[in-house]
Every structure is written in C-alpha cells, then in structure tokens.
Structure 1
Amino acid sequence: MISLGFVTVYDQQEVKYSTEVAKRADRYGITVYRFTPFDIDPLTEKVRGLQFDNTKQSWIESTFDIPTFLYDRCFYRADDRSKKSKPIVQWLKHRPDITFLGHGFPSKWELYKKVIEHPLLSPYIPKTERLQSAMDVLHMIQKEKAVICKPEHGSRGKGIYVIKQMKNLLHILDASGQTIAHIRRENDLQRWINDLLQHNSYLIQPFLPLQTKKNEPFDIRFLFQKNERGKWSERGRAVRIGQPGTMIANVSAGASIFDFSEWINQVSSPQRLFITDGIETITNVLPSYLEEQFGPLFELGLDLGITEEGAVWIIDMNSKPGRKIITALTPENCDVYEAPLRYCLFLANEVNIS
C-alpha cells in the first residue's frame, strides 16, 4: 500500500477534507494518515498520529513510519507552535525518501518579483513595494489616493489594512471597513507602521477599485489542481462578493459565492471579450510558470480582480488554497477529493514506488 499523510500545524485542521479523501483511498491502494509535525518522535522518527481505518470508516490512533507521500496543509501564523512547526516541515522536505505533493510558495514579495519578470503576466500585477517607512505610503498615496497593506506571509485576508486620503487626514481602515485610526502627521503614521511591522513584514499596493455598484468588494477565485497525468486542471471558478463597505471578498470574512458564468454573461459583449482574454492569458501561463520558478506544486488558488472598466488584476496566489468555491457551488463534485489520490498515484509511478 502507498502511504499518504496530511500534515497540519494543529490536529483539528482539515479534518473534514482529509476524511473525504481517506474514504476514497482504499480503491487506489493508498493508506491515509493525519499528523502534526510535533507527532514525529525525533529519536525513532516514528509518528504517533491518526490512521484512517477503512473497515470502521473512521480515524484511529496509530504509530507508523513517516508516510512516503505528504500533503502539506500547514498554515503558519505568528504563534510559537507555527514557528516550531516550520523547521520540522523543512526537514521533511529535504529528505530524499519523502515526496511532497507540492512544495508551496515563499513570501508574497518573492512571488511578486518573479511574476513581474514575465512579459505576459507583468501587465496584470499591481505595483507592489515593501512597506518600510511612512514615506513609502505617502509617495504611493499621492498618486493613488488609497493604498492597501498586506502581510507578506498572510493568508485568508487576515491582517489587511487600507489607507485612504480624505482632505488633510489619512484614514486607516481594517478589512471590515472600520476606521481604526485618523492620521494627521507623518510621525504618527510612522509610529503606526512601526507597530504593524513588529508582528509581520508588509507589502503595499494601490487600492484598486474592485467593487460592485453597491460598494461590495468582489473578485474571482480559481482553483487549479494537478490531474492523474500530472497536468494542471481547473477545478472551478467563482465570483466572491463581500459585504457592502468591507475591503475584501474573502469567504472567511463573510463573502458570498456566485456562479462565474452567470456573472460574465451579464457583462457587456465588448468588455466580456476584454476580460476573458485577460483571464485566459493568466490562467494558461501562470500555474506552469510558478512551478518553474518555485518547484513542484499540486494545487493553486488564484484571485483575480476586475475593475468597472474591465481591467484584470492578479490579486493573490496561494499554494494551499481552500475549496469552498467547489463545495458551495457543486457539492456533488468529487474531483477535489479524488485529485490528491490520483496525483499521489502519478507520483508513485514516477518514483517507482509500489
């Protein structure tokens, strides 16, 4: 039997998804395990985690060898557990006897620097800079009137702030659209930035007009996964619309999910062609290019923003995406549960493991 392990920082993460995958694993000749980096005994290199029992159709406690194939679903935060987990996962990634389904991305800054180099992709990337001082914000805001601050290592829309200029004041808003500070002087802005950078490094971009006529933030989320032949396959795309007055269209922040086809068919014909052309350029080029630059990937979440004029922008790229657009719009779709198993078999054949 081939062994596939789900690795998460916390033992209750990804339980539902890993269970659905595990229920289908037996017919692929795969045994599925779940564990955290802390479940590995550093002396014996044995794991005390959970194994899916096909007979009982449930997880049972078990001690086992580190699985040959690992599905990395570790989301690192600023807490101690995350900080201690990361080097253990890096150690696993350097072991020649272990194959990860995907190796993930470095920081958003490293992503930006590579994507901006591609001649077909660079027109779709908003100007991005590292946030280091008040002057970085002031220079950009003179041209753009508003900037968005994003954590360099953030995910799921957490830790995002928007700075807007209104008359002689800078208004700092959080992702929910609430004003958390009014800034009048450069020194006060620098103090706020210093506090922000104590917890995370940040990037700044122009705050693009990616709202509906009802002042709702919206974007388009794409989910890609590798298929059983090791080729990229689009699993789905959907429009995400956030609450009026909020800053981001993230499902975890309360955004709703809508069918992409219904949305695009409401767009005027000339603009629809313009949008579709941008989307096709990005989706045809980006997944393979990211893999060339950063190593093997299994899946990719891509967020694209569309302005009222039809301009397409790459908002975010995620090597550990969620799957809510699939489970919300097509809950009967089993591809997202079968895909890790099929790709695992593909990798097993590639490295001649039986």
Structure 2
Amino acid sequence: MPSTGKGAFFIFGINCQGDEGGSEEERRVLLSVKKRIGVLTYRGEKGFIEPGILRLMVREGEKMNLEVFLFSPQDVDLTARKIRGYTPTQTGWKNDWYAWPDIVIDRYRYYPVPKHAGYLPFRRQQLFRYANSRFANKFSVHRVLEQDPILRKWLPQTMEYSRESLAILLQEHRVVYVKPTNGTGGRSILRVVRTPGGFHLQGQTKKKKKISESIPSLDVLHQRLQAWIKQEKQGNEQFFLQQGLELSLVPGRTVDARLLAQKDGTGNWRLTGMAIRLGARRSSTSNLHSGGTAVPAARFLTEHFGYEMTRQIIGECKELALHAVSRIEQHFGQMMEFGFDIGIDVKGHVWLIEMNPKPGREIFRQLGQRKRYLEAVRRPLEYAAHLLLNDQQVSDENHAYV
C-alpha cells in the first residue's frame, strides 16, 4: 500500500488523510448533450428528509451539464408520461413538469411504515432506467455475505431472534445486540450485557428515549425483549441478535469506522473517505444523530495502534469493502455506493457491522472536509452519467432477492 508519509493512507487510489487520488479528468464527466437525471426520494408534508445533500446534488449536476431534479412516487403521471420534479431556490423548492428522465438515482430510504407503503410497489414497476439496483434488509444481507468464505472472518455472529438463539449468544458472548432489520440512526437497538447478577439492558427507543434496566434471569430477559420488539416493531420488520464487540478504544464510548465506497465516473469502485465515529457517553451506538462525534481515521488509529498496525487495519478495511461489494453485486445486481459501518475492536480486529446502500455524507462535513463532502455528493451523478455514456442498462430483472 503506497504512502506519502506517516498518517497518509491510500485506499482505492485515494489518500485517506489528504487530497483524493486520481486526476480531475478521470472524475469529471462532461456530456455534449444535456442528460436528465431524476433522484427518487421521499417527500412528505414537511418536505425532503435530507435537503442539504439533495440541494447540492442538483447544483453540482448543473456544473456537470446535467439536468437533475427530485421526485417522489406520487409525482409521477403515468398517463401523460411526465414527472413533477423539484429543484432548489434561494429560500425553498420550486416544482415543474419534466419529461421522462434518462436515468434515475434511487435515494429513497424505505422503512416498513405506512407513509412508505407505496415505495416498493412503485419501485417494482420498472418504470425507469435505474443507476442502482434494489437491496434487502440487514439480516438478509448478512445471510448473503456469510455465504462467502472470505467474508466470514469479518462478520460478527448473527442469528434471527428467538429465546434459543438468545441463550446461545449470551452463553458465548458477554455482550449481545438486539437490532431491527430496517433500523437506522441507532433507533430501537438494545445492548444486552451479561452480569454476575443477571443482565443489563441499554438502548434507545424509536422515539429516541434512552433506557437502562437490570434483568435478573434469562426468562425475564426474553419476556422483556418480546415486549420491546412489540413496542418498537414497525410494519412487518423483524429483529435479530448480533454478537457484541469490544469497541471501547475510548473508555466509556462506542467506537467504529464509517467507510464510504462509491463508483466514480469510470464505473470503478473507489473509497471516497473513511472516518472514526465516537459514540456519546453511555450510548450503545456510535451514531452521529445520537450525539456521536467524528474524528479522522488515520490519526485516531495511529494513536491507538501505531503506524504499522494502522496500515494493516486500513488495508483490511479495503479488502473487506472490495469483497463485500463484489458479493453484493453478484446477488443483487449493479450498485452505486455503500456506507460501511466497520468495528475495530481493542485488539485491532476488523468487523463488518452493516452496509447501507443509501448512505449519508455528514461525517465529512462534520470533520470540515468540504472537498471530500462535495466529492461524495458528486460521485453518484458521475456514475449515472457514465452509465448513460456507455449505454449500460441497470435492471433488477433476473437477480435473486432474499
């Protein structure tokens, strides 16, 4: 792995500590004829969920000679074959009718709740050419990944929830997590710790209320978790159990890495960036929305493991990401980007916690890495333009779903 000196690491040809690798010419997509890109996302009564990123996508698209607009399933007029699309103004959003897009980027973050009920039927209609294929829930993805013998060493033990699986995992591990298959932002996750007097629960409800409880026995724990699942369950989602990891590199705080891998304007996977997330004190997750903070990856890891071991850890993260995206694309079809949540335990072992096909980019903005943040916004547009230029149809057809 090449290096420009201590603290600098190159992964996917990109320096994790400094400027991104690769020339501007490689990353910039220039189109002689303006192409139309629709960004499918959720729009509710209060507007768009991630307005900052979406505004930038439209504006960066303009710089690339792309016509980019946002839309939701309810904005599509199938009879007239036109779409009510949204673009940003100085103070809000304006809408207008647009012709059918040349390609669509799916940024719709689906959860099994009533307001999202129309998304899956809409997506299955194959109305558009999509830049990214459909995905599956966390537990189903884990089952796909664990079939790969290379990936298994990075996967924490994970089982569907039952009293029997709870007993097995708590016998083998001091800490076990209870997670929803469609959760995000650290919501509805419980940390179960085996103690001399029984068990201790720590977590956050879907309404962001923190809980901390002591439980005397496995039977009482199972009853409490059943009540928790009934309370927290949204729609038809299920809950699963996952081996807890020793991620307390900073005492009293959960620590993990966020790695953003994206396809660029040449269709190749590249690492846009990597950072460390420090969870809030007494929090069971490292999520930024739950009070976590971000720090530069190379600097943090070097302080805890030294230079040579940090090189090995980051190299292993690269290997993990490359194998994972390859396995996922074999199963689900072409993808565009993934945010990897990677655990690095106190011994320096790397663990794949989960991967998100519609990741955020806020960690780079929190670190003050404006250039990297903009690159993370641009790359999906560059890849979509690459597909148009190379006439590569991305389709969900003929791919297996779990």
Deviation at 1:243, TM superposition (A): 1.5
- Counterpart AA for 1:5: G
- Counterpart AA for 1:236: G
**Structure 2 counterpart of 1:328:** 366
Maintained 8 Å contact 2:105/2:384: no
**Structure 1 counterpart of 2:18:** none
**Structure 2 counterpart of 1:337:** 377
Of 85, 90, 102, the match for 1:49: 85
**Structure 1 counterpart of 2:348:** 310
Kindly report which structure 2 residues correspond to 1:1-354, keeping only aligned pairs within 5 A, or say none.
1-10=34-43, 11-51=47-87, 59-91=93-125, 94-95=126-127, 98-131=128-161, 133-175=162-204, 178-198=210-230, 199=233, 200-266=237-303, 267-269=305-307, 271-272=309-310, 274-329=312-367, 330-333=369-372, 334-351=374-391
Maintained 8 Å contact 2:55/2:87: no
Residues 150-200 of structure 1, C-alpha deviation per residue, up to 9 Å, x if partnerless?
Answer: 111222222111112223422221148954444335554343333344413
**Structure 1 counterpart of 2:25:** none
Deviation at 1:283, TM superposition (A): 2.8
- Counterpart AA for 2:281: P
Maintained 8 Å contact 2:337/2:380: no
Maintained 8 Å contact 1:274/1:310: no
> C-alpha separation between the residues in 2 aligned to 1:130 and 1:247?
20
> C-alpha separation between the residues in 1 aligned to 2:246 and 2:107?
32
Q: With structure 2 as the length reference, what TM-score do the two structures score?
A: 0.79
Maintained 8 Å contact 1:171/1:179: no
Q: CA-atom RMSD, angstroms?
A: 2.5
Maintained 8 Å contact 2:198/2:218: no
Number of residue equivalences: 346
> C-alpha separation between the residues in 2 aligned to 1:270 and 1:177?
41
Q: Which moved more, 1:6-15 or 1:312-321?
A: 6-15
Say which SS state the counterpart of residue 77 (structure 2) adopts: coil
- Counterpart AA for 1:150: K
Which runs of 5 or more structure 2 residues have no equivalent in the other structure?
1-33, 394-402
Maintained 8 Å contact 1:9/1:81: no
> C-alpha separation between the residues in 2 aligned to 1:272 and 1:9?
39
- Counterpart AA for 1:35: F
- Counterpart AA for 1:127: Q
> C-alpha separation between the residues in 1 aligned to 2:160 and 2:323?
26
Maintained 8 Å contact 1:7/1:35: yes
Which runs of 5 or more structure 1 residues have no equivalent in the other structure?
none
Q: CA 1:188–1:231 in structure 2 vs 1: closer, same or farther (change >3 Å)?
A: same
Maintained 8 Å contact 2:261/2:321: no
> C-alpha separation between the residues in 2 aligned to 1:327 and 1:51?
22
> C-alpha separation between the residues in 2 aligned to 1:178 and 1:75?
24
Q: CA 1:159–1:308 in structure 2 vs 1: closer, same or farther (change >3 Å)?
A: same
Identity across the alignment (%) = 22
> C-alpha separation between the residues in 2 aligned to 1:320 and 1:104?
11
Q: CA 1:41–1:31 in structure 2 vs 1: closer, same or farther (change >3 Å)?
A: same
- Counterpart AA for 2:101: P
Maintained 8 Å contact 1:177/1:246: no
Say which SS state the counterpart of residue 360 (structure 2) adopts: coil
Q: With structure 1 as the length reference, what TM-score do the two structures score?
A: 0.89
> C-alpha separation between the residues in 2 aligned to 1:230 and 1:148?
36
Deviation at 1:142, TM superposition (A): 1.4
Say which SS state the counterpart of residue 236 (structure 1) adopts: strand
Deviation at 1:107, TM superposition (A): 1.4
Say which SS state the counterpart of residue 296 (structure 1) adopts: coil
Say which SS state the counterpart of residue 256 (structure 2) adopts: strand
Q: CA 1:178–1:326 in structure 2 vs 1: closer, same or farther (change >3 Å)?
A: closer
Residues 109-158 of structure 1, C-alpha deviation per residue, up to 9 Å, x if partnerless?
Answer: 22111211222211010011011x22221221012122101111222222
- Counterpart AA for 1:74: Y
Deviation at 1:86, TM superposition (A): 2.5
Residues 217-259 of structure 1, C-alpha deviation per residue, up to 9 Å, x if partnerless?
Answer: 1111111111111001111000111112211111111111111
Q: CA 1:177–1:352 in structure 2 vs 1: closer, same or farther (change >3 Å)?
A: closer
- Counterpart AA for 1:85: Y
Maintained 8 Å contact 1:4/1:33: yes
Q: CA 1:326–1:178 in structure 2 vs 1: closer, same or farther (change >3 Å)?
A: closer
Q: Which moved more, 1:212-221 or 1:311-320?
A: 212-221
Deviation at 1:207, TM superposition (A): 1.1
Q: CA 1:172–1:352 in structure 2 vs 1: closer, same or farther (change >3 Å)?
A: closer
- Counterpart AA for 2:86: L
